[in-house]
Chain A
Amino acid sequence: MAFSFFGGLHPKDNKAYTRDRQIEPFAAPDVLTISMSQHIGVPCEPLVKKGDPVKKGQKIGDSKGMCVPVHASVSGKVKAVEARPHVSGMAMMSVVIENDHQDTLCEEIRPRDRAQVDAMTPEELIAIIREAGIVGMGGAAFPTSVKLIGGIGKIDTLIINASECEPYITADDRLCREKADEIIAGIRLLIRILEPEETYIGIENNKPEAVKALQTAAGDTGIRVKPLPAKYPQGAEKQLIFAVTGLQVPSGTLPAAIGCAVLNIATCKAVCDAVYSGMPLISRVVTVSGDILREPKNLEVPIGTGFDVLLEACGLEGEPYKVLSGGPMMGSAQYDLSVATVKACNAVTVLGKKSRFHVEDPHCIRCGKCIDVCPMRLMPVLMYRSLGSNDVEEMKKMDLMDCMECGCCAYNCPAGVPLVQMFRTGKQKIRSAQQK
């Protein structure tokens, strides 16, 4: 099983920093900033105003359309409702909560027992999942309820993504090792909703303990754990589907077009929590790691905790060069450390000066190493050339829109050409040309 998808590469995974670190609950800080933009789609409207008391798990934002609510992750008082720095680099409407450290639970949160859950219809389950504010926790933050509603009756293969191919991140690995039963329970709820013929958990084979834990927990449920070669970007949706089923998602379509649905493993755990314990998505496992931390950790972090608090807890050693939300391949660099964790933030990665790589005026040497690693089988070297011409038609012809921005080409480029970075600009040009 050496072949799983075209291209890809093996960046230094740096997972050893946190691989053996148990998930620690992280005490909520004094102030939390809960963004109203925690998913793809319509941002939430704040449901509370300055001065309001809030309880842990209380809904504090919601809206109509493609939107799922957000909840207070602690109890306390609303300190402000205003735009604050967001991990995307923009300022977003946020509810700032002053923590009273009482953790007074919202009355609406009530656990359900097995019999109650077993009696529920798929629609009722989806309603719970929506109300719990669950989104895809692998990074895309697509509202899970929307994906499930769209998938009913159309899905024959359900794939749970536990690949975690980004360097440094071990949050999902630890979750599989420590909470395998909850994960499997969550997956069984998803199976009840989608009724797929086959269910797989795709996981890279560099996490043998997690594979074992999942296999044990899965038992005879029919959920198959599929170890895959460790290769970046194994966790990319289309590449994962190909590795598991051998099917290619047609260019420009979604996995549902070939009867597949992919959900992140942490999302499954959140589904289990929401349905059985009634707890909405108010905390998640975050890997805080990097090459200049004294004590990198896996932390169960309340949503809305500032990056600065997390870094302080892990002991910053020396000047950070970059602080990323996510891993080094696809994470976004932060300019303000007061940004807070969101539902899709699986890691905070701190890189020191020695990871700096910059070439002034890079010259492509046409080595073709970008073509070798492109998982979408594109030709970055020629796409790069088409950008120079500024000709939108030429860019389209080079399939620029099929680029999923995994960053393999730029990682591998000996000349240091910022390929994927330029492709993003090019894609934007194509999009704005199409809008005209």
Chain B
Amino acid sequence: MALTKQKRELTISASPHAHGTVTTRGVMRHVLIGLTPALIGSVYFFGFRALAVCLVSMAACFLFEKLWCVLLHKDDKTYDLSALVTGLLLAYTCPPTVPYWQLVIADAFAILLVKMLFGGIGKNVFNPALAGRAFLFSWPVSMSTWVKVGWENRAGLFSAADIVTSATPLASMHRYEMPAEGLWDMFIGNIGGCIGETSAVLILIGFAYLLITKVITPRIPLCYIGTVALLTFLFPMGNDRLLWMASQVLSGGLMLGATFMATDYVTSPVTKAGQVLYGVLCGVLTVVIRYFGGYNEGVSYAILIMNACVMLLDRVGRPKKFGTPGKKVAGK
């Protein structure tokens, strides 16, 4: 009886009273870890400026979100680390020579307008990092100046002048020419391009990490990359189908986009069939833009366009609820 006599504070709530170990913060941490190999690679290929760009972008995104919450008295959710993911991904889609101030404005656009104005994490329609990248094309020159890869040609931390520029494989292919770069260089990342997109192998390591930690399923990335591979194989613009296909798959932001951006929970469909369709359509749009668009890269716009279709795709492939086996059930 002693127990009832003592005043005890017991918590009442509806079941369940247990919770799994996965949290939003944990998921975001996994994504950041998955992105790390590509970051290390970018420092190797482009010098410390690449790292500086990433850090500036992450810090800016974090601070903008914090500022929004404090100034507008909103519930502060910055501890979920999602702003850091946005910042890092946005930096990954920029050339290492991107001016810091332009990047910070893009960060503000991504966090304040694309994410927070829509209601914060989970409520945004478009992927903030990609929308930020699209915004950065307000300065097209910054976004299409490609440094020649290599330590000796690395850009200075504060001055991006005096660097040797080079073409990218995508630029050649946009002119329907076979790229000059070898497949191996494209695979390991020894080519010009954006900070986080060049090294397929390092992105694949991140991809494997996300699969192992069950953050993502391979559905969207495989459908996306598979569609691009199939279409470029069927309609090659060079004389070697296989080489053309491999170059298309390994160049530009396809690997990065398919692995880390098209799989963004918030802006991709939740049903399995919806995800397959989303991946395939991203692939189709990417190839169409790369072949016929004015700009040689199509990944970011393909994903942004598909982001807008997610509400529609969520209606596709709704699982058949338990208790509806075929047509035998009466009333269905």
Q: A320-334, CB under 8 A of B: which get 1 and which 0?
A: 111110101111111
Q: A366-B270, A415-B122 are in contact. Are A330 and B15 (CB under 8 A)?
A: yes
Assess whether B11 is in contact with A321, with CB atoms less than 8 Å apart.
yes
Assess whether B18 is in contact with A328, with CB atoms less than 8 Å apart.
yes
Q: State whether the Cβ of B16 lies closer than 8 Å to any Cβ in chain A.
A: yes
Q: Which residues of B contact A416 (CB under 8 A)?
A: 19, 23-24
Q: A331-B15, A355-B18 are in contact. Are A414 and B319 (CB under 8 A)?
A: no
Assess whether A330 is in contact with B271, with CB atoms less than 8 Å apart.
no
Assess whether A363 is in contact with B329, with CB atoms less than 8 Å apart.
no
- Cα A367 to Cα B121 in complex, Å, equals 12
Binds B, one of A112-120, A141-149, A219-227, A377-385: A377-385
Assess whether B13 is in contact with A360, with CB atoms less than 8 Å apart.
no
In chain B, positions 1-42 with a C-beta closer than 8 Å to chain A are: 1-4, 8-20, 22-24, 26-27
- Cα A250 to Cα B318 in complex, Å, equals 18
Assess whether A248 is in contact with B324, with CB atoms less than 8 Å apart.
yes
Q: A336-362, CB under 8 A of B: which get 1 and which 0?
A: 111000000000010100011100110
Number of chain A interface residues as a range: 35 or more
Q: A328-B16, A379-B271, A411-B19 are in contact. Are A249 and B323 (CB under 8 A)?
A: yes
Of all chain A residues, the one with the shortest Cβ separation from B77 is: A363
Of all chain B residues, the one with the shortest Cβ separation from A398 is: B318
Q: A250-B323, A312-B3, A371-B271 are in contact. Are A335 and B10 (CB under 8 A)?
A: yes
- Cα A399 to Cα B16 in complex, Å, equals 21
Q: State whether the Cβ of A266 lies closer than 8 Å to any Cβ in chain B.
A: no
Q: State whether the Cβ of B158 lies closer than 8 Å to any Cβ in chain A.
A: no
- Cα A367 to Cα B10 in complex, Å, equals 32
Q: Which residues of B contact A89 (CB under 8 A)?
A: 12
In chain A, positions 372-419 with a C-beta closer than 8 Å to chain B are: 375-379, 381-382, 399, 402, 405, 407, 410-416, 418
Q: Which residues of A contact B270 (CB under 8 A)?
A: 366-368, 371, 379, 381-382
Q: Which residues of A contact B324 (CB under 8 A)?
A: 248, 250-251
Q: Which residues of A contact B18 (CB under 8 A)?
A: 11-12, 167, 328-329, 355, 357, 411
Q: State whether the Cβ of A311 lies closer than 8 Å to any Cβ in chain B.
A: yes
Q: State whether the Cβ of A365 lies closer than 8 Å to any Cβ in chain B.
A: yes
Q: A6-B322, A375-B322, A377-B319 are in contact. Are A312 and B16 (CB under 8 A)?
A: no
In chain B, positions 99-131 with a C-beta closer than 8 Å to chain A are: 120-123
Q: B244 → chain A, closest Cβ, in Å? A: 35
Assess whether A238 is in contact with B323, with CB atoms less than 8 Å apart.
yes
- Cα A424 to Cα B14 in complex, Å, equals 9
Q: State whether the Cβ of B321 lies closer than 8 Å to any Cβ in chain A.
A: yes
One of A319, A357, A365 near B266 (C-beta < 8 A): A365
Q: Which residues of A contact B329 (CB under 8 A)?
A: 250-251
Of all chain A residues, the one with the shortest Cβ separation from B216 is: A367
Contact residues of B: prevailing secondary structure: loop
Q: Which residues of A contact B8 (CB under 8 A)?
A: 319-320, 337
Assess whether B321 is in contact with A378, with CB atoms less than 8 Å apart.
yes
Assess whether A322 is in contact with B11, with CB atoms less than 8 Å apart.
yes
Assess whether B75 is in contact with A360, with CB atoms less than 8 Å apart.
yes
- Cα A337 to Cα B11 in complex, Å, equals 12
Q: Which residues of B contact A167 (CB under 8 A)?
A: 18
Q: State whether the Cβ of B71 lies closer than 8 Å to any Cβ in chain A.
A: no
Q: State whether the Cβ of B320 lies closer than 8 Å to any Cβ in chain A.
A: yes
Assess whether A376 is in contact with B4, with CB atoms less than 8 Å apart.
no
- Cα A247 to Cα B323 in complex, Å, equals 9
Q: A376-B322, A412-B22 are in contact. Are A366 and B15 (CB under 8 A)?
A: no
Of all chain B residues, the one with the shortest Cβ separation from A6 is: B322
Q: Which residues of B contact A322 (CB under 8 A)?
A: 10-13, 17
Assess whether B323 is in contact with A363, with CB atoms less than 8 Å apart.
no
Q: State whether the Cβ of B140 lies closer than 8 Å to any Cβ in chain A.
A: no
Q: Which residues of B contact A214 (CB under 8 A)?
A: none
Q: Which residues of B contact A238 (CB under 8 A)?
A: 322-323
Q: A169 → chain B, closest Cβ, in Å? A: 13
Of all chain B residues, the one with the shortest Cβ separation from A252 is: B323
Q: B51 → chain A, closest Cβ, in Å? A: 28
Q: State whether the Cβ of B151 lies closer than 8 Å to any Cβ in chain A.
A: no
One of B20, B121, B271, B322 near A363 (C-beta < 8 A): B121
Of all chain A residues, the one with the shortest Cβ separation from B270 is: A368
Q: State whether the Cβ of A420 lies closer than 8 Å to any Cβ in chain B.
A: yes
Assess whether A366 is in contact with B265, with CB atoms less than 8 Å apart.
yes
Q: State whether the Cβ of B330 lies closer than 8 Å to any Cβ in chain A.
A: yes
Q: A3-39, CB under 8 A of B: which get 1 and which 0?
A: 0011001011000000000000000000000000000
Q: Which residues of A contact B271 (CB under 8 A)?
A: 368, 371, 379
Q: State whether the Cβ of B294 lies closer than 8 Å to any Cβ in chain A.
A: no
Q: State whether the Cβ of A364 lies closer than 8 Å to any Cβ in chain B.
A: yes
Assess whether A250 is in contact with B15, with CB atoms less than 8 Å apart.
no
Q: State whether the Cβ of B181 lies closer than 8 Å to any Cβ in chain A.
A: no
Q: B268-297, CB under 8 A of A: which get 1 and which 0?
A: 101100000000000000000000000000
Q: Which residues of A contact B19 (CB under 8 A)?
A: 357, 410-411, 416
Q: B215 → chain A, closest Cβ, in Å? A: 9
Q: Which residues of B contact A332 (CB under 8 A)?
A: 15
Q: A248 → chain B, closest Cβ, in Å? A: 5
Q: A228 → chain B, closest Cβ, in Å? A: 17
One of B12, B22, B320 near A333 (C-beta < 8 A): B12
A residues within 8 Å of B by Cβ? 5-6, 9, 11-12, 89, 167, 238, 242, 247-253, 306, 308-309, 311-312, 316, 319-324, 326, 328-338, 349, 351, 355-357, 360-361, 363-369, 371, 375-379, 381-382, 399, 402, 405, 407, 410-416, 418, 420-421, 424
The contact sample of 5 A-B pairs, CB cut-off 8 A, is: A250-B323, A316-B3, A351-B17, A382-B314, A411-B20
B residues within 8 Å of A by Cβ? 1-4, 8-20, 22-24, 26-27, 75, 77, 82, 120-123, 265-266, 268, 270-271, 314, 318-325, 329-330, 332
